């Protein structure tokens, strides 16, 4: 194995499994790893804590990204170099639609690029999209568990607290965006950027969002309504993977497991 470790996540190429879950919080990464069989710590550096194990026979990795698009982009860039091929973001988001309630899951099919990282990576005209097959697998798994689940567009912003300027959330809400969060666009765009090069394997991404019941964001008055946390994960396009493996991996996102993450 190449022992030259990547500078941010401190993981060497080949150390991450093809399937990778991306929570933001290192503590959540540890809790997810506890649900895997034969889990082990790979590395811990800054906000990037990594683990690997298996779930129902499928090798699975976990890597925390920290908060926001810049650190998420770093994590994804290096994770792909370390062997990840299917990236699934799991975390929280604030609801932008009344029908998205506490305890619901949101699967992001795409993300509005309202943060400052991805415009430095790709033209703003390029959409940030999830991989359709990964998104479909997550949706089927959530429905099979009887969870309330939504799928559609999310908004990725850099600001967590409201300042003097309008964040535009009312406009995004009227446009049909389901929720607002801070990392999806970066994950989708990095996967797209690294998925068009030569070679047999391209990265794919997906996102699952779901909230702990009864919680609200500190920015609850953004649009004159109550914004609630939702758990979230990104998905994009990747190369050939065993279809059965994707479906097994999607089972990680049953309502029981999502509830255990918070």
Residue 174 to residues 47, 85, 197, 221, 223: CA-CA distances in angstroms?
Answer: 35, 35, 37, 16, 11
The fold for domain 19-260 equals Rossmann fold (3.40.50)
Measured between its terminal Cα atoms, the distance across the chain in Å is 35
Q: Of 174 and 259, which is predicted with more confidence?
A: 174
For residues 41 and 50, the answer to whether their CB atoms sit within 8 Å is yes
> Which pLDDT score, from 0 to 100, does residue 175 have?
97
**Is pLDDT at 192 greater than 80 in this prediction?**
yes
Q: How far apart are CA 92 and CA 217, in angstroms?
A: 10
Burial class (CB in 10 A: 0-12, 13-18, 19+), 251: middle
> Which pLDDT score, from 0 to 100, does residue 228 have?
33
Lowest mean pLDDT among 9-18, 137-146, 162-171: 137-146
Q: What is the pTM of this model?
A: 0.81
Q: How far apart are CA 251 and CA 208, in angstroms?
A: 12
Give the pLDDT confidence of 51-105 residue by residue, as tens digits: 999 998 999 999 999 999 999 999 999 999 999 999 999 988 999 999 998 888 9
Q: How far apart are CA 140 and CA 24, in angstroms?
A: 24
Average the pLDDT over 103-126 and give the result.
95
Q: Which two tokens stand for residue 71?
A: 């650190």
Domain boundaries along the sequence of the chain: 19-260
**Is pLDDT at 229 greater than 90 in this prediction?**
no
Strands 19-22 and 86-91: parallel
Taken in order 85, 190, 149, 158, is the CA torsion positive or negative? positive
Lowest mean pLDDT among 49-58, 124-133, 192-201: 192-201
Average pLDDT along the chain: 80
Name, in order, each residue with C-beta under 8 angstroms of 198's C-beta and a sequence gap of 6 or more.
none
**Is pLDDT at 3 greater than 90 in this prediction?**
no
Name, in order, each residue with C-beta under 8 angstroms of 136's C-beta and a sequence gap of 6 or more.
none
């Amino acid at each position: 194995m190449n022992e030259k470790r990547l500078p941010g996540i401190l993981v060497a190429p080949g150390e991450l499994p093809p399937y990778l879950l991306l929570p933001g919080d290192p503590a959540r990464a540890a809790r997810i790893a506890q649900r895997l069989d034969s889990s082990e710590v790979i590395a811990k550096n800054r906000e990037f804590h990594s683990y690997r194990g298996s779930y129902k026979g499928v090798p699975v990795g976990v890597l925390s990204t920290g908060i926001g698009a810049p650190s998420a982009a770093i994590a994804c860039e290096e994770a792909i170099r370390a062997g990840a091929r299917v990236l699934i973001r799991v975390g929280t988001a604030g609801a932008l639609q009344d029908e998205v309630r506490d305890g619901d899951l949101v699967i992001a099919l795409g993300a509005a690029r309202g943060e400052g990282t991805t415009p430095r990576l790709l033209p703003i005209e390029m959409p940030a999209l999830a991989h359709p097959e990964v998104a479909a697998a997550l949706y089927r798994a959530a429905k099979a568990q009887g969870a309330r689940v939504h799928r559609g567009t999310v908004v990725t912003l850099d600001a967590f607290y409201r300042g003097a300027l309008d964040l535009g959330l009312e406009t995004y809400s009227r446009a049909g965006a389901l929720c607002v969060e801070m990392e999806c666009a970066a994950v989708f765009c990095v996967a797209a950027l690294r998925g068009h090069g030569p070679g047999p394997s391209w990265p794919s991404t997906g996102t699952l969002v779901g909230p702990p019941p009864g919680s609200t964001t500190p920015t609850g008055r953004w649009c004159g309504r109550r914004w609630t946390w939702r758990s979230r994960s990104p998905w994009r396009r990747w190369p050939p993977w065993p279809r059965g493996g994707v479906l097994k991996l999607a089972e990680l996102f049953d309502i029981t497991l999502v509830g255990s993450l918070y």
